[in-house]
Structure 1
Amino acid sequence: MRFDLSSWTAVQPGSDAETYLPSTPETVLWGRLPCADDEPVLSVASGAVVTVDTLSHEGLLPDQGQDPLAFFAREGVPPQLVLEDAVRIAAERVHDEADGPHVVTGPIAVRGARPGDLLRIDVLELEPRVPYGVVSNRHGRGALPGEYPEGPDAVSVFAAVEERDDGWAGVLPRRAGSDAVARFPLAPFLGIMGVAVAGRARPHSVPPGAHGGNIDVKLLVEGTALLLPVQVDDALAYVGDPHFAQGDGEVALTAMEASLRATLRFSVVPRSQALEAYGVVTGPLVVTPEYLVPTGLSEDLDEAVQHAVRAAIELLHARFGMDRSNALAYLSAATDFDISQVVDLVKGVHAKIRIADFDA
Structure 2
Amino acid sequence: MPEHLFSLDSSKAFKDQEKLGHNRWHPEIPPVATVKRGDSFRVDCREWFDGAIHNDDSAQDILDAPLLTVHTLSGPFAVEGAKPGDLLVVDILDVGPIPQEDSGPLAGQGWGYTGIFAKNNGGSFLTEQFPDAYKAVWDFRGQVATSRHVPGVAFEGIIHPGLMGTAPSAELLAKWNKREGDLIATDPQRVPPLALPPEADHAILGGLPRDQWERVGSEAGRTAPPRENGGNQDIKNLSKGTRIFYPVYVDGANFSVGDLHFSQGDGEITFCGGIEMGGFIDLSIDVIPGGMETYGVTENAIFMPGRVEPQFSEWLAFSGTSVTLEGEQRYLDSHLSYQRACLHAIDYLTKFGYAPEQAYLLLGAAPIEGRLSGVVDIPNSCSTVYLPTAMFDFDIRPSAAGPVQIDPGIGAPRAANG
TM-score by length of structure 1 reads 0.60
Deviations 1:111-166 (A, max 9, x none): 1111110111100011221221100111311111133243xxx3221100123xxx
Does residue 1:32 correspond to 2:30, yes or no?
Answer: no
Question: Of residues 110, 124, 148 in structure 2, which corresponds to 1:131?
Answer: 110
State the one-letter code of the partner of 1:183.
Answer: A
Work out the CA distance in 2 between the residues paired with 1:263 and 1:142: 31
Q: What is the CA distance between 1:98 and its match in structure 2?
A: 6.0
State the one-letter code of the partner of 1:233.
Answer: D
Map 1:96-115 → 2, pairs under 5 A: 97=66, 99=68, 101-115=70-84
Q: What is the CA distance between 1:338 and its match in structure 2?
A: 4.4
Q: 1:184 to 1:98 in 2, by over 3 A?
A: closer
Map 1:239-318 → 2, pairs under 5 A: 239-254=257-272, 255-271=274-290, 275-276=293-294, 278-288=295-305
Q: 1:286 to 1:337 in 2, by over 3 A?
A: farther
Q: 1:289 to 1:125 in 2, by over 3 A?
A: closer
Which residue of structure 2 aligns with residue 158 of structure 1? Answer: 137
Structure number with the higher strand fraction is 1
Which residue of structure 2 aligns with residue 193 of structure 1? Answer: 164
Contact in 2 for aligned 1:43/1:110 (Cα 8 Å): yes
Does residue 1:56 correspond to 2:47, yes or no?
Answer: yes
State the one-letter code of the partner of 2:6.
Answer: L
Work out the CA distance in 2 between the residues paired with 1:233 and 1:22: 24
Contact in 2 for aligned 1:56/1:259 (Cα 8 Å): yes
Map 1:148-187 → 2, pairs under 5 A: 148-150=130-132, 154-163=133-142, 168-175=143-150, 180-187=151-158
Work out the CA distance in 1 between the residues paired with 2:244 and 2:20: 21
Q: 1:44 to 1:160 in 2, by over 3 A?
A: same
Q: What is the CA distance between 1:229 and its match in structure 2?
A: 0.6
Work out the CA distance in 1 between the residues paired with 2:114 and 2:49: 8
3-state DSSP of counterpart to 1:103? coil
Structure 1's unaligned 5+ residue stretches are: 1-15, 65-70, 76-94, 291-300, 305-335, 340-348, 350-360
Q: 1:288 to 1:98 in 2, by over 3 A?
A: closer
TM-score by length of structure 2 reads 0.52
Contact in 2 for aligned 1:134/1:158 (Cα 8 Å): yes
CA RMSD between the two structures: 3.0
3-state DSSP of counterpart to 1:99? helix
Q: 1:126 to 1:173 in 2, by over 3 A?
A: same
Deviations 1:72-124 (A, max 9, x none): 3x46xxxxxxxxxxxxxxxxxxx995635321111111111111101111000
Q: 1:275 to 1:123 in 2, by over 3 A?
A: same
Q: 1:32 to 1:59 in 2, by over 3 A?
A: closer
Structure 2's unaligned 5+ residue stretches are: 9-13, 58-63, 99-108, 171-215, 308-331, 336-368, 373-382, 384-418
Work out the CA distance in 1 between the residues paired with 2:259 and 2:304: 20
Contact in 2 for aligned 1:30/1:101 (Cα 8 Å): no
Does residue 1:20 correspond to 2:5, yes or no?
Answer: yes
